Amino acid sequence: MNPNDNKNNKNNKPGGNWRGVASLVGWALLLTIIFSYASSVIGSTGRQASSINVEYGEFQEMVESGQVARVEFDNAEDILLITPEEGYSYTAEDGTVYTKTEDGYTYMDAAGQEQTAHLELFTVRIQSNDAVIDFLNEYGVEGVDKEYQAPVNPVLAMLVSYVLPFVLIFLMFSLVMRWMAKKGGMGGMGGIGGVGKANAKVYMEKSTGVTFKDVAGQDEAKESLTEIIDFLHNPQKYTEIGAKLPKGALLVGPPGTGKTLLAKAVAGEANVPFFSISGSDFVEMFVGVGASRVRDLFKEAAKVAPCIVFIDEIDTIGKSRDNRMGGNDEREQTLNQLLAEMDGFDTDKGLLLLAATNRPEILDPALLRPGRFDRRIIVDAPDLKGRVDVLKVHAKDVKMDETVDLEAIALATSGAVGSDLANMINEAAINAVKNGRQVVSQADLFEAVEVVLVGKEKKDRIMNVEERRIVSYHEVGHALVSALQKDSEPVQKITIVPRTMGALGYVMQTPEEEKFLNTKKELEAMLVGLLAGRAAEEIVFDTVTTGASNDIEKATKVARAMITQYGMSQKFGLIGLESVQHKYLDGRPVANCGEETAGEIDKEVMKMLKDAYDEAKRLLSENRDALDKIAAFLIEKETITGKEFMRIFHEVKGIPENEEKTQPSRIGMKEETSQDVIVLPDMSEENKDESINE
């Protein structure tokens, strides 16, 4: 039997062809309607946007003053089309002045740039054509009276507007469907959109425009990738000693640290074909499509080896195949195919797989074992030196004055990733332009730090007198306790100006140097400082507000971590009661204890926070005179510097100038711009509003 007979029988089923034709007709009709409607809307919109109705009396004044060069009669709509003389000016309702030129109408846009528009002035004809022509002749204006044109036959108009486009679209669909059938139908590699074909972007040599010079703050990651690139270029150096090229390298780190940028830099440095694709590109609603795309990707890569294949967000397809988490046939098939392909290709050909993720804990163990991803390259938040290097990279094309000290900014932004620092540089440049300057200053950079971390100043938010007093005492409470404690960071700025991210006020503090560890005393001092705002409210006003919600949340988190993770509790000792999940994302802790123990942990947290709160009230009560004076000064000024704060504090305490404890200076810090990272954003508007609503 001829194998094609079955295909023919399928195609010759009763009604099969008719269903196909009906489908084509339906699609063609739908597209025709959409096309016709869009054409009419666009035509009417264009006419409305460019046409200006001039009152007939104003038209007569224009003719009499010699401002009209030509008038055309539109007898179909009974209007007069006016062509003014060059130099004629028309003022729109929004105040924009349009001046007639040879090429159209010129005007100034919002940016102060000259633009050209094409306008059409018309007026409704009130008098007869003969009367209008006599009037125009009297003032030497050219008048063109077009013959009246009868309207188009409606049948002919329908044929041209609807039937003809329908026929053309139907023919086009027929040709496309026939071409697709010859290529293997909808399910094959040549189907609609190439369903089973991988759509990876291919970069050759330095086409990405990014090299390792553009990546800063990730020296260890660059070193690991440099070794891999060298292996691709000079494999004999490694094979002679018996080394094998790693099959894969996994880039792991928080969002914004530069994982994708590193991959693009590899493409720029490798001088070999570089395939880049996202994990989501493998996922489709049809089962088997993802696996087909994986096969196609590695097939194409093998043809041009040596090369590099980069899969971004690999956790999309590489999730653990744990049935308890619920299965997904498409994802599992895609992952199985990826594992098979990684086992199948020979590293001697120089095919290397790179992948990036910020959720390594959810990846399938089979994907992470040696022989598949041999290297795990950590791309973490940069340290102080790394942040300085990142800032230099992003600031190289930005004009800056002599006051700029990037090391001071780096120290002020502990914990910031590369994308945060790039955003700060850009915000500083925007702020300089907004203020009419040609270069970026240190003040612009510190303001950008504030904008990124707590938002812009909310100038339209005006607090009443009582709220200003509460917020002022709240923030001064934080600052004063920090100044009184030995293990606290020095205050650099206090403000009660609201910000767009919800803070009604905040205290800015800076460390003497970057720290990677915190002592128990430092954490205890942190708890006292966090709760000092609420303590100041209770001492001064004999009541409390909702403004301390953010402080309480932070203090609770620190106290719980001290007990469950750091082993700083006498009651529980050295036992891990919580573990951190999603380290590179939200870092949410997960309890590793029973309900009874969890209840005891809560009691220990409450005790620790109560002790810290009592200590804060004690310190503030003993220094009530300093609290009142500094708060009064802050209410008057709204924003004060750390030096002003310490000057008032020492005046109240009677400490001579030579005995004043000097503020720790940062690396290259300029005195006039001693501002830093926001540590204590307080007085949340959201919490305040929620309280009111309740």
Residue-wise pLDDT for 550-590, tens only, equals 899 999 999 999 999 888 988 888 888 887 777 767 667 77
Using CA atoms, how far apart are residues 537 and 531, in angstroms rounded to an integer?
10
What pLDDT, on the 0 to 100 scale, is given for residue 677?
38
Note if 651 is an active site residue: no
Nearest to 474 by CA among 495, 447, 453: 495
Using CA atoms, how far apart are residues 476 and 503, in angstroms rounded to an integer?
15
CB 454 within 8 A of CB 501: yes
Is 37 in a helix, a strand, or coil?
helix
Nearest to 413 by CA among 446, 443, 442: 446
Low-confidence ranges of the chain (pLDDT < 50): 1-16, 43-49, 148-151, 183-193, 659-694
What pLDDT, in 10s, does the model give residues 191-250? 444 555 555 666 555 566 788 888 888 888 888 888 888 887 787 888 888 887 788 889
Nearest to 512 by CA among 415, 442, 412: 412
Nearest to 681 by CA among 421, 502, 484, 458: 502
Using CA atoms, how far apart are residues 342 and 298, in angstroms rounded to an integer?
9
Using CA atoms, how far apart are residues 131 and 126, in angstroms rounded to an integer?
10
What pLDDT, on the 0 to 100 scale, is given for residue 58?
84
* Sign for the pseudo-dihedral over CA of 506, 510, 515, 517: negative
Nearest to 619 by CA among 504, 525, 551: 525
Identify the burial level of 453 via C-beta atoms within 10 angstroms of its C-beta, where 0-12 means exposed, 13-18 middle and 19 or more buried: buried
* Interstrand relation of 375-378 and 248-252 (parallel, antiparallel or unpaired): parallel
* Interstrand relation of 503-509 and 491-495 (parallel, antiparallel or unpaired): antiparallel
What pLDDT, on the 0 to 100 scale, is given for residue 616?
93
What pLDDT, on the 0 to 100 scale, is given for residue 153?
55
What pLDDT, on the 0 to 100 scale, is given for residue 155?
60
Helix (H) or strand (E) holding 251: strand 248-252
What pLDDT, in 10s, does the model give residues 623-657? 999 999 999 998 888 888 888 888 888 888 777 65
What pLDDT, on the 0 to 100 scale, is given for residue 162?
62
Residues contacting residue 292 through CB under 8 Å, at least 6 positions apart: 189, 195, 196, 197
What pLDDT, on the 0 to 100 scale, is given for residue 557?
92
Please report where in the chains the tokens 């209007």 appear, as a residue: 79
Using CA atoms, how far apart are residues 88 and 105, in angstroms rounded to an integer?
9
Catalytic residue among 341, 447, 475, 604: 475
What pLDDT, on the 0 to 100 scale, is given for residue 161?
65
Using CA atoms, how far apart are residues 448 and 170, in angstroms rounded to an integer?
57
